[in-house]
Amino acid sequence: MTPPSIFDPHSTPAHVIVDYTTLVLAVCGVIFAIVTGLIVYSIVRFRARPDDDGREPPQVYGSNRIELAWTIIPVLIVIVLGLTTARTILALQKNVPPPGSLAVTAIGHQWWWEFHYPEYGITTANELHIPVSDPQAPRPTFFDLKSDDVIHSFWVPQLSGKTDLIPNRENHLWVEPRTPGVYVGQCAEFCGTQHANMLLRVVVQPPEEFEAWVRAQQKPAAVAESASLGRAIFERTACVNCHTVRGTPADGRFGPDLTHLMSRTTLGAGVAPNDLPTLREWVAHPDSLKPGVRMPAMQLESEQIDHVVDYLVTLE
């Protein structure tokens, strides 16, 4: 995978930021070259020589004209940078959804992400699906950012800069991706024990593919008869206090929605791949994969765990 570099943008705010950044870097680069050059020149040219006569060099106490020059030039640079910055802030910071945008509510939890799509009535976790925005028919995504507990920060470097998710507040962020792909990011504000494993994946899809994904997510859980034993155990234990499986009595809200668990590629907010052995380990000992995770081990018998996993893998 290529690194999630901020200089490899695939969406509008990140693009604009790179363009703006180029100017800032150029100005800073020129200043660095000039000042470092002056320093190096001074220390080479005016080093004490071995054949020094021991007399003190001429004492120069200052010069108002020179001081004025190196005050005014930086002031001019600040004015240019300040105006450019103001213009870019005004262009990028939006508090109302742009027309035609897809609304997504992102809620930060210790240590996972919850995503609601109010238009479609679907909820998912940790892996966000959004459509590519076609310049002919723009479809940006506009986020309402909230937190359920402490402060988190939403950061997918290739799509946009970061914005915090703060309890009792609602922040906003928008992206307008141009190229399909999977973009990784993670929580950027320290939020407790597992801050490091509060990872994010954004799947940017062509519109048709995205619509197909939405339709699949809208369906209630397909509960296979063969998994009824595992389902019974799941619904008898505390699993249902935290997890929702739409179409069944499980309607807990503290943990990720599991209705379409198997449509996701990772577990525990990206800490491990979502495959059968790892899923089993996760149900049996979540703490071994993600130390400090809020999900407790349910103390089930090995056989019961097998049944629960058999049930979970049917949630496609």
Partner 1 sequence: MAAIDGPAAASPPREAAFGWTHVLHEWVATVDHKKLGIMYITSGIVFFAIAGLEAAVMRYQLAFPDNDAISPEVFNRLFTMHGTSMVFLVGMPIIIGFGNYLIPLMIGARDMAFPRLNAWGFWMFLFGGLLLYFSYFGSSGLYGAGSAPDVGWFAYTPLSGKAFSRGNATDYWILGILISGFGSLSGAVNMITTALTMRCKGMTLGRMPLFVWMMIVVSFLMLIALPPLTAAQVMLLFDRYLGARFFDTQAGGDAVLWQHFFWFFGHPEVYILIIPGFAYASEIIPVFSRKVIFGYAVMVAATVSIGFVACAVWAHHMFAVGMGKGVNIWFSTITMVVGVPTGIKIFNWIATMYGGKIRFRVPMLFCIAFLIQFLVAGLTGIMLAAVPFDWQLTDSYFVVAHFHYVLIGGLLFTIFAAVYYWFPKMTGLMLSERLGRLHFWLFLIGFQMTFTTMHVQGLLGMPRRIYTYPADRGWEIWNLITSLGVVAQGAGVLCFLAAIVWAFRRREPAGDDPWDAWTLEWSTSSPPPEYNFAELPEVRSRRPLWDLKHPEDPDWKYE
User: Rule CB under 8 A: which of 172-211 touch partner 1?
Assistant: 172, 184-197, 199
First to last CA, the chain: 26
**Local structure of residue 302 (DSSP, 8 states):** H
Q: Examine residue 88 and tell whether it contacts partner 1 (CB under 8 A).
A: yes
* Residue 32-61 contact track with partner 1, rule CB under 8 A, x = bound: x--xx-xx--xx--xxxx--x---xxxxxx
Q: Examine residue 298 and tell whether it contacts partner 1 (CB under 8 A).
A: no
User: Rule CB under 8 A: which of 209-238 touch partner 1?
Assistant: none
Q: Which helix (H) or strand (E) holds 112?
A: strand 112-117
Could you say which of 133, 141, 160, 244 contacts partner 1 (CB under 8 A)? 160
Residue 289 or 298 having the CB closest to partner 1: 289
- The residue range among 85-93, 98-106, 121-129, 295-303 that interacts with partner 1, by the rule CB under 8 A, is 85-93
Sequence-ordered list of residues with C-beta below 8 angstroms from that of 185, at least 6 positions apart, any chain:
4, 154, 155, 156, 157, 158, 159, 199, 200, 201, 202
Could you say which of 26, 93, 211, 236 contacts partner 1 (CB under 8 A)? 93
Residue 223 or 297 having the CB closest to partner 1: 297
Sequence-ordered list of residues with C-beta below 8 angstroms from that of 97, at least 6 positions apart, any chain:
103, 142, 174
- The residue range among 31-39, 96-104, 212-220, 277-285 that interacts with partner 1, by the rule CB under 8 A, is 31-39
Residue 19 or 134 having the CB closest to partner 1: 19
Q: Examine residue 295 and tell whether it contacts partner 1 (CB under 8 A).
A: no
Q: Examine residue 92 and tell whether it contacts partner 1 (CB under 8 A).
A: yes
Q: How far is the CB of 233 from partner 1 (least distance, A)?
A: 30
Q: Examine residue 102 and tell whether it contacts partner 1 (CB under 8 A).
A: no
Q: What tokens were used for 236?
A: 């008898």
Sequence-ordered list of residues with C-beta below 8 angstroms from that of 8, at least 6 positions apart, any chain:
2, 158
- The residue range among 76-84, 214-222, 252-260, 301-309 that interacts with partner 1, by the rule CB under 8 A, is 76-84
Whether residue 21 contacts residue 12, with contact meaning beta carbons closer than 8 Å, is answered with no
Q: How far is the CB of 175 from partner 1 (least distance, A)?
A: 12
Residue 14 or 221 having the CB closest to partner 1: 14
* CA-closest candidate to residue 210, choices 122, 287, 78: 122
Whether residue 195 contacts residue 111, with contact meaning beta carbons closer than 8 Å, is answered with yes
Rounded Cα gap, residues 21 and 15, in angstroms: 10
Q: Examine residue 4 and tell whether it contacts partner 1 (CB under 8 A).
A: yes
Q: How far is the CB of 171 from partner 1 (least distance, A)?
A: 4
Provide the pairing of β-strand 127-131 with 266-267.
unpaired
Radius of gyration of the chain (CA): 27
Could you say which of 100, 167, 207, 247 contacts partner 1 (CB under 8 A)? 167
- The residue range among 123-131, 146-154, 212-220, 249-257 that interacts with partner 1, by the rule CB under 8 A, is 146-154
Rounded Cα gap, residues 70 and 85, in angstroms: 23
